[in-house]
Chains A and B, each alone.
Chain A
Amino acid sequence: MRINLRFFASLRERLKKSEEVREVPDGATVGTVWELLKQEYPELIAIEKSMAFAVAQEYVDKAHPLQDNDELAFIPPVSGG
């Protein structure tokens, strides 16, 4: 299935892209995709504890199951205000 990834702020600058369409196996969760990204970008391990995730613009945890065409956003620590 295809998942639309979104990256913001510090993460967007680290990965040098704001979005990506990625093919992932059926049954994949948010955590599955995060693990794949960590393998490609080992520097993400340092910021893992502060990372939040959103699917369809709602906060979810890593166990959240993905569906075809979901939008998965990686949300570094927010700092509005």
Chain B
Amino acid sequence: MVMGAEQNSILCKITQSQIDMQELSDFVADPAAGAMATFVGMTRNTNEGRQVTRLEYECYPGMAEKEMEKIATEVLQRWPVKKIAMIHRLGRVDIGEASVAIAVSSGHRHAAFEACHYAINQLKETVPIWKKELYEGGELWIGSQTGTVGSFQKV
């Protein structure tokens, strides 16, 4: 759980539904903000030569939100950011649809861009969420392919 003053500055959510960008921008809106940076990750129709048909996401419920909140809290400490919202979708995500969205507001654009970039990079490294790629001729868990080592090197 996010505590104290940061409670009103952080929105971290896992959802089974389509991501509503308006919800993110409404949350980070702030009279003292002169900038809002957003990142949206979407399902791409190709990956490493495969014709992707859709992605399916799952998470470790509870821990996924906690790890997202850690990132958001760190962002507020490291940059002069007003508010941050992070939403990740689970289940089936079709081509062109958003699986993740982040919005950051700040007084000036530099902090918003940097913080948003940092937040998505950290999310991909530490938040216990997994994507299965379904492609023409098969399916695989991204990061767990036999013979390769995933990007996650925390232990």
> Which among A13, A50, A78 is the interface contact of B128 at CB below 8 angstroms?
A78
List the A side residues contacting B151 at CB < 8 Å.
77
| Cα–Cα, bound, A73→B127 (Å) | 13
Interface residue from A11, A50, A73, A76 paired with B63 (Cβ < 8 Å): A73
Among B71-125, those with CB < 8 Å from A are 88, 99-100, 120, 123-125
Please, what's the 1-or-0 string for A45-81, where 1 marks a CB less than 8 Å from any CB in chain B? 0110111111001110110000000000101111111
The majority secondary structure among interface residues of chain B is mixed
B32 within 8 A of A: no
Is the CB–CB distance between A62 and B155 below 8 Å? yes
Closest chain A residue to B57, Cβ basis? A80
| A21 contact set on B, CB distance < 8 A | none
A78 and B127 contact, CB distance less than 8 A = yes
B150 touches A79 (CB 8 A): yes
Q: Give the interface residue-count category, chain B.
A: 35 or more
Secondary structure type dominating chain A contacts: mixed
Contact A78 B155 (CB under 8 A): no
Contact A80 B60 (CB under 8 A): no
Q: How many residues of A contact B (CB 8 A)?
A: 27
**Total number of residue pairs linking A and B with CB closer than 8 Å:** 100
Chain A positions 5-51 with a Cβ under 8 Å from a chain B Cβ: 6, 8-11, 13, 46-47, 49-51
| Cα–Cα distance between A58 and B126 once the two chains are bound (Å) | 11
- A75-B141 contact, Cβ under 8 Å, with A8-B130, A80-B88: no
Q: Is B4 an interface residue (CB 8 A)?
A: no
Q: Residue A10 contacts which of B41, B59, B88, B144 (CB distance < 8 angstroms)? A: B144
When the two chains form their complex, are residues B141 and A79 in contact, meaning their CB atoms are under 8 A apart?
Answer: yes
Residues of A within 8 A of B100 (CB): 80-81
B contacts, CB < 8 Å to A: 41, 57-60, 62-64, 66, 88, 99-100, 120, 123-132, 141-144, 146-147, 149-152, 154-155
19 example contacts (A-B, Cβ-Cβ < 8 A) are as follows: A9-B132, A9-B141, A10-B130, A11-B144, A46-B146, A46-B147, A47-B144, A52-B152, A57-B66, A59-B154, A76-B130, A77-B150, A78-B124, A78-B152, A79-B129, A79-B141, A79-B142, A80-B100, A81-B100
The 5 A-B residue pairs with the shortest CB-CB distance in the complex, in nearest-first order: A77-B150, A80-B129, A77-B143, A9-B130, A10-B144
